[in-house]
Structure 1
Amino acid sequence: MGFWSLFEVASMPVLQVLIICVMGAFMATGRCNLLPADTRKALNKIVFIAFTPSLIFASLTKTVTLQDIISWWFMPINIGISFLVGEVLGWILVKVLKPMSHLEGLIIAACSTGNLGNLPLIVIPAVCDDWNTCHSAGLSYASFLMALGGFYIWTYTYQLIRTSSMKYKAIRAAKEASKAPNIDPKSGSETHLLKEKDGEQQAIVSVQWTKASGDAETQAISHGDSDKTNTSLWNKVREPLHQVLEELMSPPTLAAIVGFIVGAITFLKNLIIGENAPLHVIQDTIQLLGDGTIPCITLILGGNLTQRLRSSRIRPWAIARVICVWYVILPVIGIGVVKAASKLGLLASDPLYHYVLMVQFSLPPAMNIGTMTQLFDVGQEECSVLFLWTYLFAAIALTLWSTAYMWILS
């Protein structure tokens, strides 16, 4: 495959994203008014609850088997490395740029969470045709990559955006509380008179209260330390467990877990996969729902971009540095990681598999980040602007790095 042919393959999914964004932007304008803010929020919840889980489940159960999961054990580690390196680079950018509090999570997520869904599903099978390798193997790699990426995104990135949202809302609430006048609505001119009339009764009550508080203080001294220790230890254990359970109970994460189980167990897989499967209508229905994920997410991003483009508070230097992270630093690190793993004998000899591992480090940010910012109502405008520029550069960057990966692995 020549450079221009590869450029065409790599740019097609990016151009599709940009075209759908334009459609979403037009639908959100006042002239059309099909995607106002309330409609985008409602559509985003449908994507989160129905479309995204369906896409993950359908992809996993159809293409991944237990043998694939065992053979491709390094792929989740490789994704974890890309997330970890991206998080470190994003954290450095946050410290250097010092953005507003609601943008910290967005910048870190944009540097660490790549689009492991629709782009690999289009680019990787196209590379199979050039290398004369099995097309179904490329589709399996891409599907497994998408499912693993969805699991990482809806655990790590979901928690990151949610924490950033909670932090920003807490800071905003504290500022609003500090600006509010401290007025006691119960206080008035009658309070002083009542205190003067009932002075003797207040004195008696205060003496009784002092005696009672003395007894309570004696009991608190004997039991306070142990209760405080038990409570603090329980809180330290309970809070992380509660967060993990919340993440695992999100619809996309549940879909990934169930999809892995069904795909790994042959009996369950044969029930719903294949034309002769007794319950194949379930898989067909889920697949139909999943096909609406990417278009809906992209329409929402386009709507946010048009409605709030001028109100975005993300600086151009921040966008440029995120682009530098994805299309300069991370691909070089990815080549080093894959080559080192290959020399240590951790990878199979299939060059297509090595290509899949490398391409994870050069993809634009995941579209699901937009879904999360919409869910938690934080940074939607900035996310849309950031995605616009990163996807504009993705067509050229993905083509150049795909060519480089193929040259290295040939």
Structure 2
Amino acid sequence: MGFWSLFETASMPILEVLLVCSVGVVIATDYFNLLSRDTLKSLNKIVFMVFTPSLIFASLAKTVTLEDIISWWFMPINIGITFLCGGMLGWIAAKLIKPKPHLEGLLIAMCSTGNLGNILLIIVPAICNEGGGPFGENGVCKSKGLSYSSFSMALGSFYIWTYTFQLLKSSSLRYITMLEAEDPPQEPNKDSDTNEKTTLLNGETQEYIDVVVPVSYSTSDDTQIQPSLHQGLVAKTDKTNGFSSKLVDIFHKILEELTAPPTLGSIIGLVFGATPWLKNLVIGDNAPLRVIQSSVTLLGDATVPCITLILGGNLKQGFRRASIRPVIIVTIICVRYVILPLVGIMVIKAAASLGLLPSDPLFSFVLLIQYTVPPAMNISTMTQLFNVGHEECSVLTMWSYIAAAFALTGWSTVFMWILT
């Protein structure tokens, strides 16, 4: 295929995403008010708890085999490289441009943490649906693309809710401690010895109580509530915690991640796909439990349109003003859409030359796209949780996703041209 034919193939899915996102933005305005904050949260819960696990299970159980799982061993390493390189570049950028203290962790997170699930679930199957695509017959390409994207979502979610969560939590605690050091000491509250108050950026007083509160999860990379519990954020770090308690805390977070619905959908789908007798129970025209697969597939088909509408509704928040330096926006765009894609080309070419990758060019394409996706919308959920930098995060997310429309089109064309 010629370069311009590949460009047309790559641009159509991006235009589809932009059109549906635009609908999400419009119906989220005050005029229509169909995607209010509460509605977005409720829709996110449905996508997170029902639609996304159904889509992941349906695609993995149908197309994956044990040999496939073994041959995909390089994907978790590849995702780790994206986090490592992005994190290093974000750290260097933070030292050079010196953002406000509460934005340092946010800058590093935006550079290191990409949307490794929902964007791939939208773009990769859409590219396969384009007539004359470079990755073979449409149906086979779409099934494989959904499997790769689902596996990427499961792995990316694990990285996000371990590395990125700890990064933003540590950054917010350091900032809160700095604010406390600048404020004169306050007399303790006689009514409650367990409550502490901290002055936030907007001048309001936030009360942090050591209680169990729900932690927010997101599927569009977007705001929703995770059905797991996490110890409430406290204003001061307990320096007496020993190594064993930290180890238990890390293990608890890993366990929470493994029990998240999309991850459970991935695990169960991989088990069914890798086990022939289980696969034959639900997959195929003569399968005795084929109604389960057809029902799950029907639910999963609602994932992409709902995710895209939610993405548009969340991006609307970025139109409000927040004091943030343009150099921070430019830095994130350069790291995510210029430097990381170039790093990805070098890494994948080196891995292919060493024989570390399967022969399927679509698998290599997904690995390359992982270096080019915009920042994860889960970052916005975390800033809401820690109540530090949420407005700035909305602005950064908006500009990042606007730039992603052009970057993904251009780099997708380059990647397909390299691979084909």
TM-score by length of 2: 0.74
Which residue of structure 2 aligns with residue 50 of structure 1?
A: 50
Task: Work out the CA distance in 1 between the residues paired with 2:134 and 2:323.
Answer: 45
Residue of 317, 320, 327 corresponding to 2:327: 317
1:223 matched residue in structure 2: none
Find the aligned partners of 2:273 and 2:82 in 1 and give their Cα distance. 25
TM-aligned CA deviation for residue 165 of structure 1: 5.8
Return the letter of the residue paired with 1:357. Answer: L
* Matches for 1:9-408 after TM superposition, within 5 Å: 9-97=9-97, 98-99=99-100, 101=102, 104-105=105-106, 107-109=108-110, 111-114=112-115, 115-124=119-128, 126=130, 129-131=132-134, 133-135=136-138, 138-163=141-166, 166-167=169-170, 181-182=186-187, 185=190, 232-307=242-317, 309-366=319-376, 381-408=391-418
User: Residue 52 of structure 1: CA displacement?
Assistant: 2.2
Matched letter for residue 73 of structure 1: W
- Equivalent pairs, count: 366
What amino acid is aligned across from residue 62 of structure 2 in structure 1? K
How far did residue 157 of structure 1 move?
1.0
What SS does structure 2 have at the residue aligned with 1:304? helix
Structure 1 pair 318–296 and aligned structure 2 pair: CA distance change class (3 A) = farther
CA spacing shift, 1:291–1:378, aligned 2, 3 Å:
farther
- Whether contact under 8 Å (1:58, 1:283) holds in the other structure is yes
| Pair 1:249–1:131, CA change in 2 (3 A) | closer
Alignment-derived partner of residue 216 in structure 1: none
Q: What are the ranges of 5 or more consecutive residues in structure 1 without an aligned counterpart? A: 187-230
The AA in structure 2 aligned to 1:299 is L
In 1, distance between residues paired with 2:107 and 2:179? 22
- Pick the structure with more helix per residue: 1
For 1:367 and 1:174, the matched residues in 2 are separated by 27
**Hey, what's the Cα distance between the residues in 1 that align with 2:295 and 2:101?**
43
* Aligned CA-pair RMSD: 3.5
Moved more, 11-20 or 97-106: 97-106
- The C-alpha deviation readout for 1:342-389, integer Å capped at 9, x for no partner, is 222323445444444333323334456566667777766545544443
- Assess if the C-alpha contact under 8 Å between 2:84 and 2:112 holds in 1: no
Unaligned runs of 5+ in 2: 192-240
Distance change (3 Å), C-alpha of 1:91 and 1:322: same
> Do the aligned residues in 2 keep the contact of 1:141 with 1:356 (CA within 8 Å)?
no
Preserved CA contact (<8 Å) 1:101 1:167: no
* Contact 2:28/2:316 (8 A) holds in 1: yes
Structure 2 Cα separation of the partners of residues 278 and 374 of structure 1: 46
1:47 Cα deviation from its structure 2 partner: 2.2
Secondary structure of the 1:361 match is: coil
Q: Which has the higher contact order (CA 8 A, sep 6+)?
A: 1
Distance in 1 of aligned mates of 2:184 and 2:32:
40
Task: Give the structure with the larger strand fraction.
Answer: 2
* Alpha-carbon distance change, 389 to 96 in structure 1, aligned in 2, over 3 angstroms: same
- The structure that has the greater radius of gyration is 1
